[in-house]
Amino acid sequence: MFSSLGVGVFTIVTLCLLVIVSVWLRLVNTTVQDPYLDEVFHYHQAKLFLQNNFREWNPKITTPPGLYILTYVHASLGRILLGSSTVAVTSLRHLNYDIGVFCLPYLLGKILPRLADELDKKYRLASFRSKTKDGLPKIALGHTVLNICLFPPLFFFYALYYTDVSSTLSVLCVYYCHLRGHRKSLVFAGLVSLWFRQTNIFWTAIFMGGLDLVRSLQKGRRGFEYEASPTFLDVILGSWRHTCIYDESVHQALFSDYAKSAISVAIAILSSPWVALRIIMPYIILLTAFGSFVIWNGSVVLGDKENHVASIHLAQMLYIWPFITFFSLPMLWPWLVNGIVPQQLLPRQLRFHKVRCHRTAIVVGFGFLGVSLGIVHYNTIVHPFTLADNRHYMFYIFRILLSKSLLKYLVVPVYGYCALAAIAALGGLESTQDFSIQKELDGVDTKQGEQALNTRDKPPNITPQGKSVTFVLVWLLTTALCLVTAPLVEPRYSILAWLFWRLQLPVLQPLALSQKGSNVRNDAKALWNSAYDHRLILETAWFMFINVVTGYMFLYKGFEWPQEPGNVQRFMW
């Protein structure tokens, strides 16, 4: 099959992107015909490669030459298929256009169904989906592919000649190999990915290696399973004797479960080091290749080493949470609303998430505030580039944060609240709605429906289908390694962190299909009302709104610097 989403769904997604991205590219190429900002460096380096000059290198460029090699291949194909040989920056921008319209949706259309299949195996939903021939789930997955491709910090660069789009594609190729278990292909794709951006090593080696290790060790020996709510001693003994990782679902987990899982992983590795080594060998090869490059180069970056020195910037792990919350506001609103508004004050249709407040959680909350305040006070790094360039939105955000001496401390609770919402969302959407309304919609008279209708004051909770604690730990570790080492705060640096968070965000909600007297038509109707996540529509509208606003600011709200009269400066991420 051409795409795991199905030809029809994939065609619709591609056509939508084709129209939207084509308009964006045409507007940019019409308004901004000369290379802008970092495009200047990338464009001139690409011209050298297209002239078969592979030895000359601009010392201001920090990333490896993957973009220019891909441009060389793309231009060669263009000459063969279209007879075009132009090297204007407006033509080079078509590389990211083609990736955004064709390559990214195709690859995401392969990845998301595989993640959904894992969900089916875990929660045994395939029998429900088969009744509608997978129609609506595929539509929801296709809608998710469309939304991810419209993600504003990524969408913006479909019409500019930057590295971010091709770099994201290269990491997703490695992830696809990881999901399919193709270890040799994974190593090759991982090495290719390092030619686009050095920080890809964290996602290709640490993130995917960690997931692979956890997935393999979760099986344990002789089918061992932990009892409900085990003690720390039970987890330690189980991990050592049976090499079995303790892994609770995010929805059910308390803070102590995160600590237990971390200890469990460490002990399971120590108890079977050779097994762990065999599992992560492909990722060790990637780390070895990257380490060899750093030793040979004398630095992580190729050029401009003085302005790109790796440092410990812990505040980056505070900034990532409002970043995720802002862009994923439509997907996180149930947790944001239910976290501050009492359930009794909300309509039944909006009671999604029950906030469980434990004494441990209160202690952890205050501990987070204390640590975060210390990080803000002692480790807030403002790179000279941030406050020297008013063309980027981060300039204005940091100027606001630093305008008042106490403001940067007052927003710390916001970081914590956003973090709770983003992590809780990975546990799935717990609905307390009365799904017995299906009886009224379908006219299905069942004993179960009668009981549900008679207990509307106590509607049944629907168990979420979310991620486990170990995924959160691996994702957090990788995000920290990727961001904490960067002194410069840029939205582009967080694209992959958001992407892997969003890929794992549960979208298809628990089904409430009738058990007796049902038919395909009624089940399809129930599936649409209970399983299709209507937040996807809000997410599409939100992303399009942001893209229109940022696009308008970039194209039509340019300004001039006094020291550079006649040169239009434009706002961008």
Non-local CB neighbours of 154 within 8 Å, separated by 6+ positions: 100, 164, 165, 168, 495, 499
Q: Per the domain annotation, does 74 fall within a domain?
A: no
- Proportion of the chain above pLDDT 70, given as a percent: 80
Distance of CA 282 to the CA centre of its chain: 23
d(CA 392, CA 385): 10
Let me know how long the chain is: 573
291, 309, 327 — which closes off a domain?
Answer: 309
d(CA 437, CA 526): 10
User: pLDDT, tens digit, for every residue of 514-548?
Assistant: 333 444 445 444 444 455 678 899 999 999 999 99
**Quick one: 303 and 337 in the same domain?**
no
Q: Which residues pair with 462 in a beta bridge?
A: 431
Residue type, 188: F
d(CA 410, CA 90): 45
**Quick one: 371 and 457 in the same domain?**
yes
Least confident of 65-69, 468-472, 564-568: 564-568
> In the predicted model, is pLDDT for residue 158 greater than 70?
yes
**Quick one: 274 and 358 in the same domain?**
no
Which residue segment(s) compose the domain that 254 sits in? 164-309
**Quick one: 431 and 295 in the same domain?**
no
Positive/negative CA dihedral, 564, 565, 567, 572: positive
Locus of tokens 């941030």: 386
Mean pLDDT of the 326-345 span? 85
Residue 108 sits at the vertex; the CA angle it makes with 105 and 113, to the nearest 5 degrees, is 130
Mean pLDDT of the 134-162 span? 90
- What is the structure's pLDDT at 527? 46
**Quick one: 301 and 362 in the same domain?**
no
CA nearest to 467, candidates 237, 133, 291, 214? 214
Q: Per the domain annotation, does 302 fall within a domain?
A: yes
309, 329, 359 — which closes off a domain?
Answer: 309
**Quick one: 235 and 371 in the same domain?**
no
Structure tokens at 46: 């690409």
473, 495, 516 — which closes off a domain?
Answer: 516
Q: Per the domain annotation, does 265 fall within a domain?
A: yes
Structure tokens at 53: 């000059």
Q: Per the domain annotation, does 269 fall within a domain?
A: yes
10 Å Cβ neighbour count for 342? 8
Mean pLDDT across the chain: 84
Q: Per the domain annotation, does 153 fall within a domain?
A: no
Mean pLDDT of the 164-173 span? 97
Q: Per the domain annotation, does 242 fall within a domain?
A: yes
Domain count, the chain: 2
Residue type, 212: D
Q: Per the domain annotation, does 152 fall within a domain?
A: no
Residue type, 349: Q
Residue 185 sits at the vertex; the CA angle it makes with 179 and 187, to the nearest 5 degrees, is 95
**Quick one: 326 and 392 in the same domain?**
yes
E-assigned strands of 494-537?
none
Q: What is the pTM assigned to this prediction?
A: 0.89
